[in-house]
């Protein structure tokens, strides 16, 4: 792809590094921005800089937050005895949109994937295990995607806490095997949370 401007080329290069954005799409987006008022582009740039510089991760669940403890963990109406274990913030948003879950979350920050060089110590697993060992948690809901990496992560966590007095369950398989939670429709995802099944039973399948 030939560019008549080095500035344009650099902007396209940076834009194309975003997930799902190829060079042609990046070029289209950059050219669109060139047509917008300068103030709008400055506002976008400032919003991104402010987010990157000031964003926090909840000290309890590792969810993205503006303050030390996110709104969900700070909400006294949430059930603190039930924790839904998810991969990232997108899964929290997807489940919250169903209005079917009133407990708390724990964001792992990924899944165990040896092929990608991601091991248990690269994720927020230790803090989850420590929560369970404190004895206040009555149920863990595994809500990772139905993939080999997701199942491996579920099993690893289960082995770490199996001697603790806590119920472990997993979302019902209304979510197709191999699907990511963020792409599931709200009704299916909501039913999968409400109709969760004991995690131990999945080990016998």
Res 185: pLDDT: 58
Helix, strand, coil abundance in the chain, percent, nearest 5:
45, 15, 40
The yes or no reply on domain 6-54 and CATH 1.10.8.420 is yes
CATH number of 67-202: 3.40.1360.10
Residues of the chain with pLDDT under 50: 175-178, 205
CB 138 within 8 A of CB 82: yes
Looking at residue 176, what DSSP letter applies? P
Question: How many CB atoms are located within 10 Å of the residue 93 CB?
Answer: 14
pLDDT at position 134: 93
The domain limits of the chain are 6-54, 67-202
pTM (2 d.p.): 0.79
Instruction: Write the DSSP assignment of 37-88 as a string of letters.
Output: -HHHHHHHHHHHHHHHHH-EE-TTT--EESSSS-HHHH-TTSEEEEEEEESS
Residue 205 is predicted with a pLDDT of: 47
* Per-residue model confidence as pLDDT tens digits over 43-93: 999 999 999 999 999 999 999 999 999 999 999 999 999 999 999 999 999
């Amino acid at each position: 792809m030939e560019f008549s401007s080095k500035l344009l080329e650099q902007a396209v290069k940076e834009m194309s590094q975003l997930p799902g954005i190829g060079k042609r799409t990046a070029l289209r987006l950059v050219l669109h921005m060139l047509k917008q008022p300068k103030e709008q582009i400055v506002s976008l740039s400032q919003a991104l800089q402010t987010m990157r510089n000031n964003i926090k991760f909840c000290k309890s669940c590792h969810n993205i937050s503006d303050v030390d403890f996110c709104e969900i963990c700070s909400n006294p109406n949430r059930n603190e005895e039930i924790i839904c274990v998810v991969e990232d913030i997108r899964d929290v948003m997807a489940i919250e949109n169903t209005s079917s879950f009133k407990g708390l979350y724990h964001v792992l920050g990924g899944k165990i994937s040896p092929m990608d060089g991601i091991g248990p110590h690269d994720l927020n697993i230790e803090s989850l295990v420590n929560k369970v060992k404190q004895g206040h948690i009555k149920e863990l809901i595994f809500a990772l995607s139905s993939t080999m990496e997701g199942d491996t992560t579920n099993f690893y966590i289960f082995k770490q806490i199996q001697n603790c007095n806590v119920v472990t369950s997993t979302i019902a398989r209304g979510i197709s095997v191999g699907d990511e939670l963020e792409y599931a429709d709200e009704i299916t995802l909501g039913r999968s949370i409400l109709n969760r099944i004991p995690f131990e039973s999945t080990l016998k399948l």
